Amino acid sequence: MTATHLPHLPDGHVALLATLGPEGPWVIPLSGVRRVDGCRLLLALKVGGGSARRLRRDGRAALSLNGPGFSACVRGRARAVADPLPGAEHMAAFELEAHHVWDARGPATEVEAGVRARWTTAGDEARHNAVLAALDRLADGR
């Protein structure tokens, strides 16, 4: 089934991001994700990380989004929009424009929960919240 818009993502949601490199596809869990609108997402990746390098070289990407009541597969193209991300300079922000979004649930399937992250230290949680706040400012054009 084809969907026309990206689902709203709950806080703490973890997406699975697939990128392409010379070694083939690579998949990582990603907690720094913000929905901009029905066809765009912002992704926060480590400035020097492998996924950021792969997206700079080849912007094709796929994302799996799963949570209560939704399961969406997304294919599109990502480009760096803030490198580094102001307010979280160890991260770079990429905008993923979804070219294809489809509902991965079958007629007899309901998703009850997705992958969720929880930080084990106050410092790590504060850093993650700073990344999400920086993505929110970028999405809002501030």
Give tens-digit pLDDT for 27-51.
999 999 999 988 999 999 999 999 9
Q: Is pLDDT at 3 greater than 70 in this prediction?
A: no
**CB atoms inside a 10 Å sphere around CB 55:** 25
Cβ–Cβ under 8 Å, residues 103 and 7: no
pLDDT over threshold 70, residue 66: yes
Handedness of CA 43, 48, 54, 56 (dihedral sign): positive
Nearest to 82 by CA among 36, 126, 15, 25: 36
From the candidate CATH numbers 3.40.50.150, 3.40.50.10860, 2.30.110.10, 2.60.120.260, the one assigned to the domain spanning 2-140: 2.30.110.10
Residue 60 has pLDDT above 90, yes or no: yes
| pLDDT for 93 beyond 90 | yes
pLDDT at 113 over 70: yes
